[in-house]
Amino acid sequence: MAFLVATESWCRRMVLAASRRLLVRALVIATAVLAVSCGNGVESGPVVAVGAGDSAESNLLAQIYSGALARAGARTSVVSGLGGRADRLTALDANRVQLFGEHTGALLAELDSSSDARTPGEVNQALNRALPAGTVVADAADGTDMRPRVLTTAAVGVHSVAELAAHCDGRAIGVAPVPGLLELPAELLRIPGCAAPVPLPDPAALRKALLDGSIQVGLLSGPPIDPADTDGLVVLADADYAVRAENVIPLFRKGLLDDRRVKKLNYVAGELNTGDLSAMVRRMRDERAQPADLARDWLDQHGL
């Protein structure tokens, strides 16, 4: 009888010890999972609302910045349909959004119309001086050259914007928007030293007018997103920045982001380029690709 009691007591101790071991293992696993989740997941805190205007580029940039910040632990959302540049600035000032993507030269023109800055460095410095109180910018994406493009035919016989400006008198000039890109103010859609251009509806109309001789010089509001838009034409070089620099840049409320998240935006700036941006905007136009999908794929491809 004593043997049976001792055996039963020993069994109970073994069961309890095993249960404790299983509990400890479960707690260790749960703690490890929680640590991984907290380290890589979204942190607590206010939602960063990333704004977008009406253009495809604006919505694409919003998704890229939103996705990049989310991967740095921020809670983010995208607010689209904010309208023009002045409307986006108003939304930022009212704290309806806290960040949106821009072009440096166009934003400078909106904030300081008297500035004569031209080169990327000059524009960045002037823009920082002109920023509204309580706002800052991260790095500009140097690989994104979103300047208007000056076009001619080979018959015109010039190869640079500076050379054209010296022989511009009497030449008929047209200007057309590039659908999908951020809008530019009218004062930036001019060729220095030349007469004001005549508006045309789109790049195809501009190309046709150049090829049939109706105009001798054309101005696209940004880089062409379709190679066919410049087929048979000469895109004039502009190494001296006769046309003001336009690089992609995020504008956001001061104090919004910690150093880690600002660095994430700077990594985006280091990877983004004109070709990638134009190709994604073209896919949105031609394939009805969704900006969130394009942004996610681009971030993945660039290790962001």
> Are 156 and 216 within 8 A, CB to CB?
yes
Q: Looking at residue 43, what is its pLDDT?
A: 62
Q: Looking at residue 31, what is its pLDDT?
A: 35
Q: Looking at residue 288, what is its pLDDT?
A: 96
> Are 174 and 198 within 8 A, CB to CB?
yes
Average pLDDT over residues 75-84: 96
Q: Looking at residue 41, what is its pLDDT?
A: 54
pTM equals 0.84
Q: Looking at residue 46, what is its pLDDT?
A: 87
Average pLDDT over residues 152-178: 90
Instruction: Give the DSSP per-residue string, 153-202.
Output: -GGG---BHHHHHTT-TT--EEEE--TTSPP--GGGSS-TTSPPPEE-SS
How would you list the strands of the sheet with 234-235, edge to edge? 198-199, 173-176, 217-220, 149-152, 234-235
Instruction: Give the DSSP per-residue string, 80-94.
Output: ----SHHHHHHHHHT
- Phi then psi for 73, rounded to 5 degrees? 95, 0
- Does an H or E element contain 111, and which? helix 104-111
What is the C-alpha separation between 144 and 287, in angstroms, rounded? 23
Distance of CA 228 to the CA centre of its chain: 24
193: Cβ contacts below 8 Å, ≥ 6 apart: 164, 165, 166, 168
Instruction: Give the rounded percent of residues in the chain with a pLDDT score beyond 70.
Output: 86
Q: What is the pLDDT of residues 85-121, one digit of tens each?
A: 999 999 999 999 999 999 999 999 999 999 999 999 9
Confidence label for 170 from pLDDT (cuts 50, 70 and 90): confident
17: left (phi over 0), alpha (psi -120 to 50) or beta: alpha
Confidence label for 214 from pLDDT (cuts 50, 70 and 90): very high
**Top-confidence residue, 273 or 45:** 273
Q: What is the pLDDT of residues 187-208, one digit of tens each?
A: 999 988 888 899 999 999 999 9
- Phi then psi for 109, rounded to 5 degrees? -60, -35
Q: Average model confidence (pLDDT) for the chain?
A: 88
Average pLDDT over residues 77-88: 96
What is the CA angle 274-280-285, rounded to 5? 125
Confidence label for 179 from pLDDT (cuts 50, 70 and 90): very high
Q: In whole angstroms, how far apart are CA 287 and each of 279, 281, 284, 291, 294?
A: 11, 10, 6, 11, 11
Tokens 């108003």 appear where?
Answer: 90
Average pLDDT over residues 125-134: 96
